[in-house]
Structure 1
Amino acid sequence: MLQNNYKKLTSKQKKVFDFIVSFIDENTFSPTILELAGFLGVSSLRTVTQYLESLEKKQMIVRAKGASRGIRIVQEDSLSETVMLPVVSAAGCDNMNVFAEQHFDEFITLDREFLGGNDPQKVVAFRAMGDSMASAGIETGDLVLTEMTTDIKSKDKVVAIVDGMALIKQITFSDNAVILAPMSHDPQYRPIIMRRDFQVFGKVIEVIKDSFSQDELVYEAI
């Protein structure tokens, strides 16, 4: 079906779709609207959105509402299957001010495809608190989808547990230290340098903006 739908695209729609496919193949994540605008050489984000809406209507892609990199290519054997993820407590984007206590009073439901192939049993959501990760698009109230994994590399955005507190930071490994750095232009936020044991809960895989209501966090393939 995907191949038949591809034949129905206009030349410009094929150009956008092919770029998205190539971008995902190269980076393992999808482009943002700004990156698509740069590729197309347009200043209007609405123009990009119209292309994406057309690709959705022709069942070439699906998008996660509120996710900055939420474009997914429709697979031939994809099913419109949703998964429910727990929202675990909150994670601080400030300086160690949110305890990592687990609360499962809140859940989000989303299409399995938006997990990027990750096992739903290993993905949870943290609600962000603070703005020290604002430059990474993570702000207070946002839901941060996190894969529980030990496969962490330098410059990954992670949820780390320090002194029983959950922090969202960018991690860097050096020869004799681990640095948990903010991603903000605000000088009040400074890196945390670790020389002792601490726990990395997992790696950030997606951010769902707080501007969307809970009802809108039920994603469906279009």
Structure 2
Amino acid sequence: MDDIRKRLEQIDRELAGPDVGGRLAGSSPLVLPAVGLIAGIILAKRTSVPLWVWLGVCGAAAVAAGAVFIAQRRSPRPLILACIAGIGFAGLGAVRHLSHQQPPGTDISRLVGDRPMPVSIRGLVITEPRINRYPNWAFSRFKPTSPPASCYLAVTEIEGRDGWASVAGVVRVQMSQAALDVRAGDRIQTYCILGRFSPPGNPGQFDTAAYMARRGVYVAASIDSADGIE
């Protein structure tokens, strides 16, 4: 009787067919992984979950998928495997996003801590200096010094205790006085203050650090005087 009942239950399940989730997983198995990948990128962007947590999610999802596949070898359930794959791809999306946000090993930002540091650097000016003339400031014409300026510098060397060392990366240079003889394509040496971009101080404030990181720039250089540029 038990065998007959099991066969009847199996026939009922086959006649009923899979549920909506099962049909979706069977006909479009990549939907949940794609949704998980997008969700992982969004979560990594909007939260501060560390990289090792997302790596753990990927590992746990891989182990769970293997265990479910072995346990359900005779009667597989695509929906369960698709859900696990979605979780795993969420971890992969987060890892991909966080890895992309990390500077390379030779980037100059690896040498900069939380506190600004005075240092001499050499590099190639890759953008024309942008001069901020403040045309709407009524007293700008009475300012005795030249207006401030900014540009981007592809750093090639940094001076340390043992002399000059090779580095890489792009630095946003802020000059309190514009160096009128500096142009894109010039190789310069300057004494500056290197520091990281400050995070937003208020909710909804523009996140300069995140914006610059998406452009591959992680630190800024501040130059007090144009005389410090050679």
With the length of structure 2 as denominator, give the TM-score of the two structures: 0.25
Structure with the larger strand share: 1
Structure with the larger helix share: 2
With the length of structure 1 as denominator, give the TM-score of the two structures: 0.26
Radius of gyration: which is bigger? 2
